[in-house]
Amino acid sequence: MSDSRVPRRRRYLVCEPRHFAVQYAINPWMQPDVRVDVDLAQEQWQALISAYRTHGHAVDTVEPAPGLPDMVFAANSAVVVDGRVFGSLFHAPERRPESTHYDMWFKTAGFDVHRPEAVCEGEGDLVWTGRYMLAGTGFRTTREAHREVQEFFGHPVISLTLVDPRFYHLDTALFVLDDSADGNNVSYYPEAFSPGSREVLARLYPDAVLATLDDALAFGLNSVSDGRHVFIAPQAESLAASLADRGYVPVPVDLSEFRKAGGGIKCCTQEIRS
Ligand code: ARG
């Protein structure tokens, strides 16, 4: 079974946590006076980058800007599908300036960037499954943005309502295991969604790998999969075991320092799909 899972080489965009800190609170995980161990954060982040490279993935980096402590969370700054970049407009004023830095990176790399009119936090809430764009709303990204995303990409957007403030971004409650046409599948924590959204997910993904509350609290759903390897928080033990049962290969990467800001592996990783 395990050999049937085929990885696909990815291109990831990341931002070094040189200025990472917790200076304001915009989600329930953040406590402004909590001390961040910057050296440990750097070490953990470097281990993530090495894990990507060891598994054959390409990694590009954006230069971190001083005064933007959350800029390390690259996922929030855009969603890129078919080489088309849909940029971000952050909910929190503290994070708004990040967009300019990421947009500049994309422009230099040869991409045009669409600037959204409505609040939209990139891959934090917009999850490309290879077939649909799953789009979270409830805390950050708005339904207006979902409509804009559908017009922009011309791919079906499925709006999902998040109901638990601890799982304020869609990528804290769900991730894509396999974006290929045949094995298309996701993993998620059902209770993070409204009853209707839960039903939608059950219809679309009857074979989904369901996570427990403990897995979700350990940021186990903030994982990155290449179709075979799943880069996952080591604390999400039961989810890692379920994934292994299904033939995936969990690759544990501990980003515990970033949890102090409400972030994990996926938050630190944006995928560039050309
Ligand atoms: N402190 C950041 C915020 O609340 C964390 C972002 C985490 N990113 C993510 N993709 N979930 O905006």
Render each residue's pLDDT in the chain as its tens digit; 274 residues: 457 899 999 999 999 999 999 999 999 999 987 899 999 999 999 999 999 999 999 999 999 999 999 999 999 999 999 999 999 999 999 999 999 999 999 999 999 999 999 999 999 999 999 999 999 999 999 999 999 999 999 999 999 999 999 999 999 999 999 999 988 999 999 999 999 999 999 999 999 999 999 999 999 999 999 999 999 999 999 999 999 999 999 999 999 999 999 999 999 999 999 9
From 13, 34, 70, 96, give the residue whose CB has the most ligand 1 atoms within 8 Å, as the site to mutate.
Answer: 70
Distance CA 231, CA 252 (A): 6
The rounded distance, in Å, linking the Cα atoms of 199 and 163 is 14
Name residues whose C-beta falls within 8 Å of residue 148's C-beta, 6 or more positions apart in sequence: 86, 116, 117, 118, 120
ipTM of the complex: 0.96
Q: List the residue whose alpha carbon is closest to atom 8 of ligand 1.
A: 267
**Nearest atom in ligand 1 to 27's CA:** 4
Beta-strand relationship, 84-87 and 224-225: unpaired
Q: How much is the pLDDT for 198?
A: 98
Q: List, by residue number, the catalytic residues.
A: 169, 267
Distance 96 CA to ligand 1 centre (A): 13
Q: Report the C-alpha gap between 132 and 13 in whole angstroms.
A: 22
CA of 184 to the centre of ligand 1 (A): 26
Report pLDDT for 4: 84
Q: Is residue 259 part of a domain?
A: yes
Q: How many Cβ atoms are within 10 Å of 4's Cβ, its own excluded?
A: 8
Domain range for 103 is 8-271
Distance 229 CA to ligand 1 centre (A): 23
Neighbour tally for 62: CB within 10 Å: 22
Residue type, 10: R
Strands 229-232 and 249-252: parallel
Of 27, 91, 125, the one to substitute when testing ligand 1's pocket (max ligand atoms within 8 A of C-beta) is 27
Q: Which atom of ligand 1 is nearest to the CA of 169?
A: 11
Q: What atom of ligand 1 comes closest to residue 95's alpha carbon?
A: 12
Q: Is residue 35 part of a domain?
A: yes
- The phi, psi pair for 59, rounded to 5°, reads -125, 125
Q: Which ligand 1 atom minimizes the distance to the CA of 262?
A: 5
How far apart are the CA of 1 and the centre of ligand 1, in A? 35
Task: Determine, yes or no, domain membership for 3.
Answer: no
Residue 74 falls inside a structural domain: yes
Q: Which of 261, 81, 75 is nearest to 175 (CA)?
A: 75
| Measured distance CA(159)–CA(147) in Å, rounded | 9
Counting from 1 in the atom list of ligand 1, the atom nearest the Cα of 26 is 4
Q: What does the alpha-carbon distance between residue 127 and residue 265 come to, in Å, rounded to a whole number?
A: 15
78 is a domain residue: yes
Residues with CB under 6 A from ligand 1: 26-27, 30, 70, 73, 75-76, 95, 124, 169, 171-172, 261-263, 267
Determine, yes or no, domain membership for 2.
no
Domain count, the chain: 1
The answer to whether the predicted template modeling score (pTM) of the entire model surpasses 0.90 is: yes
261 alpha carbon – ligand 1 mean position (Å): 7
Establish if 207 belongs to a structural domain.
yes
With contact defined as beta carbons under 8 Å apart, do 188 and 225 qualify? no
Ligand 1: distance of its center to the CA of 50 in Å? 22
- Smallest Cα–Cα separation from 82: which of 34, 50, 46, 114? 114
- The answer to the question of residue 224 being in a domain is yes
User: Token pair of 60, please?
Assistant: 């590009």
Predicted confidence at residue 2, as pLDDT, reads 52
Rg of the Cα atoms in the chain: 17
Give the β-pairing of 229-232 and 133-137. Answer: unpaired
- In 3D, which of 121, 156, 154 has the Cα closest to residue 139? 121
Question: Is residue 143 within 8 Å of 94, Cβ to Cβ?
Answer: no
Which CATH number fits the domain that encloses residue 220?
Answer: 3.75.10.10
> Within 10 Å of residue 183's Cβ, how many Cβ atoms?
15
| 258: amino acid identity, one letter | F
SS3 string, 164-182, reads CHHHCCHHHCEEEEECCCC
